[in-house]
Amino acid sequence: MRIDILTLFPKMFDGFINESIIKRAIENKLITINIIDFREFSSLKHKQVDDTPYGGGAGMVLMCEPIVKAIESVKDDDSLVILTTPQGKSYNQSVALDLKNYKHLIIVCGHYEGYDERIRNFVDLELSIGDYVLTGGEIPAMVICDSVIRLIDGVIKKDSYMEDSFTDNLLDYPTYTKPADFRGLKVPEVLINGNHKLIEEYRKEEQRKRTEERRPDLLGDKDGKD
């Protein structure tokens, strides 16, 4: 997979692409990530990319030209262009699973007061990572990349994500490691006895129980509720 991230602040991604699993995925040539400063596509003096809004109002608005030109410079027949915006579709694991099937993602990071509305004519999908507003789209872009990249074959073991939270609309089961007894807090006996059938049953039950307690909204369709 190839990912092109269009941003005004390329250095924000230095740590993201040079650490941990993302770094290894790049080194193993499972993914390619390009960080593109769309300021370089401005034809105005001083590489201006924003201006005051028509009709008045607070803040500055990102202009069409630099962003659209940046998109067009990397877009091909395999591209999916994503706009990060609080007005977008809510991002979740189901969307991540869909995005991993694309060969090329282009992610546009917004900033300032917002985008010129006409930019939306040049994107395929608008995504929001939550009902709150950030200073820019760089963090959402990292969230999207991280959640998609870990699903790509070879990045991590498939078993590591098949039972993740939100798979099959369930939260993950509780996990433990040594010691078996920490200050009187003991690991459930079923996990120690070596009976894999009972362990699997225990984990499925714990997934269900935890989801009912913490995120009952995820079980709505399963229980026939709204």
Alpha-carbon span 91 to 146, nearest angstrom: 13
- DSSP for 80-134, please give it: EEEEEEEEEEEP-HHHHHHHTT-SEEEEEPPBTTEE-GGGGGG-SEEEESSSS--
Centre a 10 Å sphere on the Cβ of residue 187 and count the other Cβ atoms it contains: 16
Q: Which two tokens stand for residue 32?
A: 């390619």
Active-site residues, by number, are 86, 113, 150, 164
Residues 6+ apart with CB under 8 A from 89: 95, 125, 126, 127, 128
Alpha-carbon span 141 to 129, nearest angstrom: 9
